[in-house]
């Protein structure tokens, strides 16, 4: 019976952000799992009534959004309009705590992201907070709490909005897009050696810039050229090894702009002359070719053949008359 209902609820899921079929299927299976497990909980664990409403208030206080929790199975039970649900449908104490921690860490990470937005330092500044967030989310989704309570179902999958999951996946997307994984080894909570080395080289260049910035820029150009070139080479090496994250890309971009726009140190454009010369020579060749083939190659002539026609063709002569 519950299986049938499950399929009836499908439209809810199609409204979700996850539009890929695969994800939909996964969600569907999870949904059925969730249903059966909730029913199982219902039958096996008679929960404790005493603190249900209190906990609920706590949850509301800590995570204001959670007031939208609507257990989707409400209709299965003939309930009165109670302000609190029976204990077996409520979120356990443990989970509410987890949720509160998740909220704190979430906001810390977002704050960090915003402050590191420009110039981009989201990887080097925020990998710690991201690691924390990831940890708590893992706790919610994987681990079993005391009394064998899993918060995964109650927090992540009880409604069609799946807010916690949604919030987390948004941040995960940002993390993936910035490719911070290439600069940070999350397992050790540290930046990779490559990144550190790059930062060091970058700092050398920047300090060199600072040193000569006051005086003539041409002096800067000559003095800092070595470090700048070293930085460039390092960057292209890292590009080949795929160890670039957004922080490095951005700082390199800024340095390059500084170098070529602000200090005007880009190599001189003298070579545009030979380039243009070569190009125009290549443009010139076809013209010569066509001219010479027009002048020297003999024109292709066609021999006309006169097919046999009926001897007297009065109408041929008349074509013109008939038309004019």
Check residue 248 for interaction with other proteins (CB under 8 A): no
How far is 201 from 231, CA to CA, in rounded Å?
6
How far is 135 from 171, CA to CA, in rounded Å?
14
Report the residue number, 1 or 304, with the smaller CB distance to other proteins. 304
Check residue 304 for interaction with other proteins (CB under 8 A): yes
How far is 147 from 280, CA to CA, in rounded Å?
82
CA of 121: how far to CAs of 160, 180, 212, in Å?
Answer: 35, 10, 26
Check residue 293 for interaction with other proteins (CB under 8 A): yes
Check residue 294 for interaction with other proteins (CB under 8 A): yes
Check residue 283 for interaction with other proteins (CB under 8 A): yes
Question: Cβ of residue 291: shortest distance to other proteins, in angstroms?
Answer: 10
Cα Rg for the chain, rounded, in angstroms? 37
Centre a 10 Å sphere on the Cβ of residue 165 and count the other Cβ atoms it contains. Answer: 17
Check residue 310 for interaction with other proteins (CB under 8 A): yes
Report the residue number, 82 or 287, with the smaller CB distance to other proteins. 287
Using left for φ > 0, alpha for ψ between -120 and 50, and beta otherwise, residue 143 falls in: beta
Centre a 10 Å sphere on the Cβ of residue 136 and count the other Cβ atoms it contains. Answer: 19
How far is 70 from 154, CA to CA, in rounded Å?
11
The footprint of other proteins on residues 211-240 (CB under 8 A) is: 229, 232, 236
The footprint of other proteins on residues 32-61 (CB under 8 A) is: none
Check residue 21 for interaction with other proteins (CB under 8 A): no
Report the residue number, 214 or 308, with the smaller CB distance to other proteins. 308
CA of 267: how far to CAs of 67, 155, 212, 217, 271, in Å?
Answer: 62, 59, 18, 13, 10
Number of residues interacting with other proteins: please give it, by CB under 8 A: 51
Check residue 274 for interaction with other proteins (CB under 8 A): yes
CA of 243: how far to CAs of 105, 122, 189, 233, 260, in Å?
Answer: 28, 16, 17, 14, 25
Check residue 19 for interaction with other proteins (CB under 8 A): no
Report the residue number, 31 or 198, with the smaller CB distance to other proteins. 198
Check residue 160 for interaction with other proteins (CB under 8 A): no
Among 118, 187, 188, 308, binds other proteins (CB under 8 A): 308
Binding window for other proteins (CB under 8 A); candidates: 42-50, 67-75, 178-186, 293-301: 293-301
Among 9, 121, 160, 256, binds other proteins (CB under 8 A): 256
How far is 61 from 79, CA to CA, in rounded Å?
25
Report the residue number, 118 or 311, with the smaller CB distance to other proteins. 311
DSSP string, 153-199: IIIISSSSS-HHHHHHHHHHHHHHHHTGGGTEETTTTEE-HHHHHHH
Among 5, 138, 237, 261, binds other proteins (CB under 8 A): 261
Report the residue number, 170 or 279, with the smaller CB distance to other proteins. 279
Check residue 3 for interaction with other proteins (CB under 8 A): no
| Separation of CA 162 from chain center | 20
Check residue 303 for interaction with other proteins (CB under 8 A): yes
Contact 163, 101 (CB under 8 A): no
Which chain residues interact with other proteins by CB under 8 A? 229, 232, 236, 252-253, 256-257, 259-261, 266-268, 270-272, 274-275, 277-279, 282-283, 285-286, 289-290, 293-294, 297, 299-311, 313, 315-317, 319-320, 322-323
């Amino acid at each position: 019976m519950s299986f049938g209902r499950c399929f009836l609820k499908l439209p809810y899921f199609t409204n979700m952000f996850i539009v890929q079929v695969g994800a939909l299927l996964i969600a569907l299976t999870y949904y059925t799992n969730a249903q059966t497990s909730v029913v199982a909980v219902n039958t096996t664990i008679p929960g404790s009534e005493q603190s249900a409403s209190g906990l609920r208030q706590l949850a509301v206080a800590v995570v204001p959004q959670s007031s939208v929790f609507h257990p989707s199975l409400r209709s299965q039970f003939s309930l009165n309009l109670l302000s609190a649900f029976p204990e077996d449908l409520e979120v356990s104490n443990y989970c509410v705590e987890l949720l509160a921690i998740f909220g704190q860490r979430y906001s810390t990470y977002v704050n960090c992201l915003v402050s590191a937005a420009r110039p981009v330092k989201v990887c080097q500044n925020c990998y710690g907070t991201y690691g924390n967030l990831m940890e708590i989310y893992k706790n919610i989704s994987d681990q079993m709490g005391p009394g064998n309570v899993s918060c995964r179902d109650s927090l992540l999958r009880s409604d069609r909005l799946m807010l916690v999951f949604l919030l987390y996946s948004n941040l995960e997307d940002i993390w993936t897009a910035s490719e911070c994984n290439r600069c940070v080894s999350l397992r050790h909570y540290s930046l990779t050696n490559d990144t550190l080395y790059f930062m060091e080289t970058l700092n050398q260049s920047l300090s060199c810039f600072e040193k000569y910035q006051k005086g003539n820029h041409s002096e800067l150009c000559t003095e800092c050229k070595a470090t700048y070139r070293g930085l460039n080479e390092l960057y292209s090496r890292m590009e080949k090894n795929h160890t670039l994250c957004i922080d490095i890309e951005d700082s390199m971009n800024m340095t390059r702009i500084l170098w070529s726009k602000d200090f005007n140190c880009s190599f001189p454009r003298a070579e545009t002359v030979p380039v243009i010369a070569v190009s125009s020579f290549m443009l010139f060749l076809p013209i010569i070719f066509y001219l010479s083939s027009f002048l020297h190659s003999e024109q292709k002539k066609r021999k006309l053949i006169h097919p046999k026609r009926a001897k007297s063709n009065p109408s041929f002569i008349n074509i013109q008359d008939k038309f004019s």
